[in-house]
Structures are given as structure tokens and as C-alpha cells.
């Protein structure tokens, strides 16, 4: 019964069917084969649930699984998005791209907005501090048919962004926030435009309720809230009660929740506790692209928890490197990039320090294959050791802001002109 239900999930609308069992085939190494039907029950455990949800509509985009991949700088490139899609369903958003760099058509920004032909819903996140530049970037994406969904970033807590008035710092200047969102919505036309934000700068300077109402009034298609302040960075526990508060305040568009979703059970609990219309998943999927399979199954009525063997994890890691090679058009660069994923993929598994160090310095796919072949593919899922928080949480810190930024909610002419320098990088995060 479990097997039949799972295969129905894989062929449901909005869910790209991957290899049997939810794990991709071995990518050219030959030592291990993809799981067969008889292995499915060994990889998954099932618990019935009643937490079924209606499809999520973001403008004219309908998602039968209300799950969004959060933009993460240096992570959510085409390669990672394709890998996640092989396991589950949802909306997969690009890395954060600076509006100014896009308008100037820098080579890196143009590469970052390129989607693989398999990405049927092309989603791009923009960062900007100037209404005119953001509008021009959105206009370009629409006129050149480069996106089906555009998201605006007002949640990045990184100092190089906030010290220039961008990311999570910007909604404090509510007039500027309104101008940017209104200009972007107008430029987007029929393309759904959404915003992603944090609670505010710190506990004394919360902005999410007012910014949410402004965004709703401007005509955005959805609002996502990471339930932390910029000062929280990624520390502590996300304040899901803020998501519930925003959901109660916003009545005409979906509200999506973000923060501390490490498992499908967390996602269902967030929906139950906050009433949000969908979830945005960031760090929880690092080294675990199969989390999207768990999420898809959970929102369709079954909690199917992936419990991959070490061999299946190794195959996913190798597949990631292969896709990165295609994305960068450089095997050497792909190997450099995949190194940062080593600790995330093999968290909790019995992979020794020397082997981890070698994987973190790999220079070719051939070398990667040799290293992965030394692992015991039959090592079982290590349980709790492979679960929980991923990525660095850090600690609360004072947010870097432009001088006298908190003195007023409005923005003066000279202050406004100084902000444009914050759009100099290709990726803001």
C-alpha cells in the first residue's frame, strides 16, 4: 500500500517523477545502482496524516505542493534547483541577484538568471535599494521573457547588504519600501511578484506588519516571512507566532512561513500553528535535497521520511557535482563549489576525517568517484545524527546600518542617493 501511494505521489501534477525510490541513479560511477521497488520500504517510513492542503496559488502559478525553495546565495543555482526538483515539487527560486548588475548585464548576473530547459517555472529573486533600478530590472526580465515569477528580497541580514540600507534593513524606510514594491509590481505586469522579508531590524524596530500591509496594497502575489529579525541572524528559534500574526493581518494574498523547517513534520507543524498558506525552506535542505520529496508526500497526506543509506547520499552528492559541472561549464570550478556541501551531505554518517578532508579538496570528477568508491554504500541511515539544524546559526548581533538610519522612517534626498552604491555586487547575499 505504501509503495502504491508513493508512486501516485511521484506522478501527481506538479511533481516531477524521479527515479524509483526518490533517489537519483548513479551518475557514471557504476559501483552502485539506483534503488529498486523492493528497497523502497527500507528507505522510507510512513505515518498517515490529515494535514492535506489546497493548492497554493501565486498569481497564475498553481502549486499543488505549497513549498518554496528559499533563495540562498552561492547555493540555489540552476544545478541545486534541478537536483531538488528530481526529488520533489514546489517553486524553486534563484540566488539573490542585484538589480543594478542585472540592468548593466554583467556576465555573472546574466549567467545566474539562466534557467535549464527543464525548469518550467522560472523564478528569480532580485535585490535592490533604488525603485528606478529595480523597476528596470523587472522590466528587462519581463520584456525578454526570462522569468515566470519574480521575488524581491527584503530579508537578507548580511552586513554588506544591511550597512547599505538593503535587505532586512530596507523596510524600516517604509516610504522607500512602498516605492520599490509599487514600481516592481507595475513593471511586472501579469508576472506574479512576491516579497520575502524578516520581522524587522531587531526587537525594538519591527517592520513586518506594516511592510506586509504595504506590500499587499501594492498588489504583490504573496508575502513570505522569515520569522527572525536581522539582529537574530540565524540564531535561536524562529518566532513562528509572528507568521501567525502576519497571516491574520493579510487577507487577500497567501502568506508563507520560513524559519526552522528541518523536516516535513516541522512544515506541517508550522502550518498548523500559524495558519500560513505554504512554507519556504532554506537551510533545512542543505545536503538533503530529498527533503522536498518528504515535503511533497507530507502535504499530500503521507509523511514519507527519507532514510538514505550512505551509498544513496554519495550518489546524490555525485549528481550535484555533475549538475554543477554543467552549470559552470567547468569541472574544476564545479568541484571547488561542491566542496562546501561535504559536511552537509555526510552529516552523521561514518565518514572519517581524512576522507572528508579529501572530499573538501577534490579537483575532478574522476577523483571524486575514486573517493566515493571507498565508502561502504550499505551503511544505514544514522538517524538523529543526520537530522536537525544545518548551516551555521551564529549568534545575535547588532545589525550594520547606514549612519543615522533609525532616526526616521522616511528617507532624505541625500540619504537616498547614497544608497545606490549598495547595488554594486552581482549577488547581494
289 near 86, Cβ under 8 Å?
Answer: yes
Report the C-alpha gap between 50 and 25 in whole angstroms.
Answer: 32
Report the C-alpha gap between 20 and 4 in whole angstroms.
Answer: 12
Q: Is 128 exposed, middle or buried (0-12, 13-18, 19+ CB in 10 A)?
A: buried
150 near 138, Cβ under 8 Å?
Answer: yes
Query: Which residue intervals of 306-347 are DSSP H helices?
Result: 310-328, 331-338, 342-345
Upper half-sphere CA count for residue 352 (Cβ side, 13 Å): 6
DSSP per position, 139-156: HHHHHTT--SEEEEEE--
Cell of 143: 520584456
Cell of 160: 554588506
Is 156 tagged catalytic?
Answer: yes
Say which of 15, 84, 156, 335 is annotated catalytic: 156
Residues belonging to the active site: 156
Amino acid at each position: 500500500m505504501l509503495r502504491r501511494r508513493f508512486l501516485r505521489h511521484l506522478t501527481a501534477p506538479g511533481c516531477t517523477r524521479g527515479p524509483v525510490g526518490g533517489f537519483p541513479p548513479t551518475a557514471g560511477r557504476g559501483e552502485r545502482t539506483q534503488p529498486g521497488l523492493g528497497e523502497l520500504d527500507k528507505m522510507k517510513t510512513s505515518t498517515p496524516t490529515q494535514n492535506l492542503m489546497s493548492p497554493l496559488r501565486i498569481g497564475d502559478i498553481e502549486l499543488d505542493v505549497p513549498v518554496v525553495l528559499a533563495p540562498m546565495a552561492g547555493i540555489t543555482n540552476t544545478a541545486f534547483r534541478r537536483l531538488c526538483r528530481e526529488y520533489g515539487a514546489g517553486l524553486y527560486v534563484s540566488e539573490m541577484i542585484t538589480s543594478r548588475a542585472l540592468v548593466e548585464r554583467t556576465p555573472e548576473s546574466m549567467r545566474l538568471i539562466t534557467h535549464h530547459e527543464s525548469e518550467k517555472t522560472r523564478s528569480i529573486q532580485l535585490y535592490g535599494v533604488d525603485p528606478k533600478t529595480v523597476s528596470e530590472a523587472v522590466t528587462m526580465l519581463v520584456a525578454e521573457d526570462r522569468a515566470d515569477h519574480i521575488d524581491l528580497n527584503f530579508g537578507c541580514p548580511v552586513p554588506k547588504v544591511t550597512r547599505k540600507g538593503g535587505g532586512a534593513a530596507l523596510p524600516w524606510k517604509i516610504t522607500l519600501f512602498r516605492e520599490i514594491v509599487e514600481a516592481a509590481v507595475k513593471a511586472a505586469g501579469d508576472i506574479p511578484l512576491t516579497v520575502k522579508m524578516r520581522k524587522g531590524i531587531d526587537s525594538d524596530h519591527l517592520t513586518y506588519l506594516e511592510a506586509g500591509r504595504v506590500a499587499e496594497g501594492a498588489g504583490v502575489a504573496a508575502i513570505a516571512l522569515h520569522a527572525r529579525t536581522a539582529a537574530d541572524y540565524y540564531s535561536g528559534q524562529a518566532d513562528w507566532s509572528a507568521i501567525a500574526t502576519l497571516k491574520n493581518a493579510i487577507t487577500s494574498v497567501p502568506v508563507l512561513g520560513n524559519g526552522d523547517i528541518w523536516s516535513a513534520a516541522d512544515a506541517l507543524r508550522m502550518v498548523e500553528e500559524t495558519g500560513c498558506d505554504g512554507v519556504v525552506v532554506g537551510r533545512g535542505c542543505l545536503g538533503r535535497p530529498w527533503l522536498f520529496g518528504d515535503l511533497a508526500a507530507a502535504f499530500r497526506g503521507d509523511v514519507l521520511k527519507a532514510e538514505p543509506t550512505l551509498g544513496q547520499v554519495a550518489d546524490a552528492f555525485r549528481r550535484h557535482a555533475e549538475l554543477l559541472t554543467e552549470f559552470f561549464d567547468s569541472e574544476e570550478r564545479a568541484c571547488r563549489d561542491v566542496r562546501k556541501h561535504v559536511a552537509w551531505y555526510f552529516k552523521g554518517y561514518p565518514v572519517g576525517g581524512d576522507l572528508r578532508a579529501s572530499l573538501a579538496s577534490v579537483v575532478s570528477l574522476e577523483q571524486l568517484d575514486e573517493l566515493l568508491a571507498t565508502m561502504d554504500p550499505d551503511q544505514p541511515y544514522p538517524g538523529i545524527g543526520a537530522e536537525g539544524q544545518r548551516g551555521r546559526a551564529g549568534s545575535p548581533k547588532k545589525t550594520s546600518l547606514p549612519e543615522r538610519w533609525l532616526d526616521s522612517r522616511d528617507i532624505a534626498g541625500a540619504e537616498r542617493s547614497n544608497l545606490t552604491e549598495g547595488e554594486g555586487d552581482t549577488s547581494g547575499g
